[in-house]
Amino acid sequence: MILTEKETSVINDLMTQEKTCIEKYGKYSTYAKDTELKNLFSTLQEREQQHYNSLNQVLTGTVPSCDVNDSAGKNYNPTATYTIGKSNLEDKDNDCFLCTDAITTEKLVSSEYNSDVFAFRDTNIRKLLADIQVEEQNHAEMIYKYKTTNSMT
């Protein structure tokens, strides 16, 4: 499969965003105060790395299979760490900031995939990008559930 110049450019742009997400989640896993949130950010870092690797495969001429699995966000049930009366407000505020920023990033990245999918003529690439877009939405949902469980909304 040979990509057009525009398709190659779009994939490179998406890879830049994924790389930023990988780096952000890596840093946020160290900045987070709560172990549950540290683990969530580490998990999301791994998933963003999978997205990056999939996009890199497209650049090399292979489109990886995808399952359009939207269960990760639905099935994530975080444990509450910050409970009323027992919360360290400074730690909670720190973790809330990280979550809010991460959700904002996921919204942006998801939106890019939603728009960029139309730049491709190959059905399998469009399916892959649509799958990644759903997974980005799942990431935001998981972070939102963490925030809700910890009374950060």
Buried b (16+ CB within 10 A) or exposed e, 41-69: bbbbbebbbebbebbeebeeeebeebeee
Domains and CATH numbers, the chain: 5-63+79-149 (1.20.1260.10)
Consecutive 10-residue averages of pLDDT for the chain (153 residues): 95 98 98 97 97 97 84 86 77 96 97 96 96 95 96 88
Q: pLDDT tens for residues 92-113? A: 999 999 999 999 999 999 999 9
Residue 119's nearest CA partner among 13, 16, 23 is: 13
State the pLDDT at residue 56: 98
Residue 125, number of CB atoms within 10 A of its CB: 20
CA distance to 14, 27, 56, 96, 143, per residue, from 100 (Å) = 22, 15, 29, 6, 8
